[in-house]
Amino acid sequence: MSDPIARSRRIFQESFGRDAEHVFRAPGRVNLIGEHTDYNGGFVLPTAIDLGTFLAVRQREDQKIRVVAADFDEQRSEFEVSDEIPVCEEKPWSNYIRGVVQVLRSMSYSFSGMDMVIAGNLPKGVGLSSSASLEVVTGLALARLNDLPIPALEIARIGQQAENEYVGCNCGIMDQLISAGGQESHALLIDCRCLTSTPVPLPPDLSVVIIDSGLHRTLVNSAYNDRRRECEEAAKVLKVGQLRDATLERLEQVAEEWDPILYRRARHVISENQRTLDAVDALRAGDMQEMGRLMAASHNSLRDDFEVSLPAIDYLVEVVSDVLNGDGGARMTGGGFGGCVVALASTDRVSDIRAVVEQQYIANTGNKARVFECRPSAGASIVPH
C-alpha cells in the first residue's frame, strides 16, 4: 500500500483545493496477553504497532466538519459540529468521527470545524484496532488544532465512549489507551481499573509477528456485548463489583450452584488476569519458554472457556506453535471470532513462521492469511513535516 502520509496529503489537496496543515497518526495495536479482561477491571499487555491511521487536516473558521475516507473509495461525509447523530441501525464509518465530536461537545469543549482526509496502512476489520486508532487520531487532531489541554488518557476515554455510544460496541479501554499512549520497543501492562500503565521492554531479538487468519470477523459486536453481559452476571453471583476481584478459590466454592457458561466465563477472566501478570515477569526475565506456556494457556482458555475462537484460528495457532517448539508462543489476539493470531518468536524464526503459514494453513484451509512482522511503536502523535 502506498505511503499513507503522502496519500492523505495528496487527496486533501485534490478534495479541498489547498494543502493540509498537519498530519496526525494513531497506531493500531496487538495484544500480547490479557484478553477480555479490560472491561472486567483487569490487566492487559498490548503493544502499539507500526501500522495505523493517518489524518491530514486543516482547521476551519466555521463549525463544519468535512471528511474524506481515502481507503473507502474517497467516500465523503459532511456535518456541523452541533449536528445530532442520526439514530439508525446501520452505523456508517463516519459515526466514529461524529461520535468523538459529540463526546467532546458533551464535555463542554468548544472547537471549530476542520477538513480532513483519513488514510491508513492498518488492515481493517481484522482485530488490530483500526476503529480505535481512528477515534484516537480524530480526538488528538481536534485537541491540538484547538489548543484543548486533553491528555492521552482522556483522548482514549473519549474514543471509547464514542464507540460505546455511537458505534454500538460496548468495548473496554485497552485499544484506545494503547493507541494513545503506546511506547516504542515496549508493551504496556495496563491496569484497566486504575488506568495506570507500566512499560515492559520487549527483548531486542524478539519479533512480534501478526498473522491475519483471513477469516472475516462477523457478528462481532453482538457476541462481544453478550460476553460482557455474562461477565457482569458472573460478578454478581460471586458478589464482587468486577471479576478482577474474584478468585479461583471462591469460584470453586460456588461451582456446583452455577450455570456452567457463567462459570467458564469467570474462570477465563480470573485465570487470564494472573497469566498477564505472570507474562510480565516472564518477559522481564527473558524467559520465552514460560511466555510460550502462558500464551498457549491463554489461547486454550479463550477457546474452551470464553468460546471466542474458531477452528481455523485454533489450527493456525497449532501450526505456528509447532514451529516455535516452546521457544516463544502463539495465541489468538483481540476480541475473537476471526481476526488475528499473535506470535512472539526469536527473529530468526520469522521466516519459518511465514513458511508454515503458507504451506500448511493457507494450503489446507484456503484462507488468504497474511503475515506482518511488527515493530512495537509509540502512541498517537503529530507527524513531523
Taking the least distance from each CB to ligand GLA, the nearer of 15 and 31 is 31
Residue pair 143/150 in contact (Cβ under 8 Å)? The answer is yes
How is residue 122 written as a grid cell?
492498518
Q: Is 172 in the site for ligand GLA (CB under 6 A)?
A: yes
Q: What are phi and psi of 248, to 5 degrees?
A: -65, -35
Q: How far is the CB of 11 from ligand GLA (least distance, A)?
A: 28
Q: What's the rounded Cα separation, in Å, for the pair 237 and 243?
A: 10
CB proximity list for 2: less than 8 A, separation 6 or greater: none
Q: What sign for the dihedral angle of Cα 171, 177, 183, 184?
A: positive
Q: How far is the CB of 171 from ligand GLA (least distance, A)?
A: 3
**114-120 and 196-201 beta bridge pairing:** unpaired
Q: Which of residues 262-281 bind ligand GLA (CB under 6 A)?
A: none
Taking the least distance from each CB to ligand GLA, the nearer of 115 and 272 is 272
Residue pair 380/152 in contact (Cβ under 8 Å)? The answer is yes
- DSSP-based three-state secondary structure for 384: coil
Q: How far is the CB of 376 from ligand GLA (least distance, A)?
A: 18
CB proximity list for 143: less than 8 A, separation 6 or greater: 149, 150, 155
259 is catalytic: no
Strands of the sheet containing 340-346, edge to edge, are: 329-333, 340-346, 206-212, 370-374
- Per CB under 6 A, the list member of 175, 212, 230, 305 interacting with ligand GLA is 175
Q: Which region among 31-39, 51-59, 101-109, 371-379 touches ligand GLA (by CB under 6 A)?
A: 31-39
Q: Is 171 in the site for ligand GLA (CB under 6 A)?
A: yes
Taking the least distance from each CB to ligand GLA, the nearer of 99 and 113 is 99
Taking the least distance from each CB to ligand GLA, the nearer of 113 and 334 is 334
> What mask, x for binding ligand GLA by CB under 6 A, covers residues 325 to 344?
---------xx---------
- Per CB under 6 A, the list member of 12, 15, 30, 35 interacting with ligand GLA is 35
- Per CB under 6 A, the list member of 119, 134, 174, 266 interacting with ligand GLA is 174
Quote the Cα angle for 218-340-55, to 5°.
85
Q: What's the rounded Cα separation, in Å, for the pair 217 and 215?
A: 6
Q: How far is the CB of 35 from ligand GLA (least distance, A)?
A: 4
- Per CB under 6 A, the list member of 36, 217, 267, 275 interacting with ligand GLA is 36
Q: How far is the CB of 335 from ligand GLA (least distance, A)?
A: 3
Taking the least distance from each CB to ligand GLA, the nearer of 32 and 174 is 174
Q: How far is the CB of 200 from ligand GLA (least distance, A)?
A: 17
Q: What's the rounded Cα separation, in Å, for the pair 361 and 125?
A: 20
Q: Which region among 168-176, 255-263, 277-285, 352-360 touches ligand GLA (by CB under 6 A)?
A: 168-176
How is residue 225 written as a grid cell?
456485548
Size of the chain in residues: 385
Q: Is 24 in the site for ligand GLA (CB under 6 A)?
A: no
Q: How do the residues of the chain divide into helix, strand and coil, expressed in percent and rounded to 5?
A: 45, 20, 35
Residue 14: CB atoms within 10 Å: 11
Q: Is 158 in the site for ligand GLA (CB under 6 A)?
A: no
- Per CB under 6 A, the list member of 32, 38, 98, 177 interacting with ligand GLA is 38
Catalytic residue among 175, 245, 304, 352: 175
Q: How far is the CB of 110 from ligand GLA (least distance, A)?
A: 30
Taking the least distance from each CB to ligand GLA, the nearer of 9 and 36 is 36
Buried b (16+ CB within 10 A) or exposed e, 288-299: bebbbbbbbbbb
**114-120 and 64-69 beta bridge pairing:** parallel
Residue pair 130/72 in contact (Cβ under 8 Å)? The answer is no
Taking the least distance from each CB to ligand GLA, the nearer of 35 and 230 is 35
Residues contributing to the site for ligand GLA (CB under 6 A): 31, 35-36, 38-39, 171-172, 174-175, 334-335
Residues labelled as active-site residues: 175
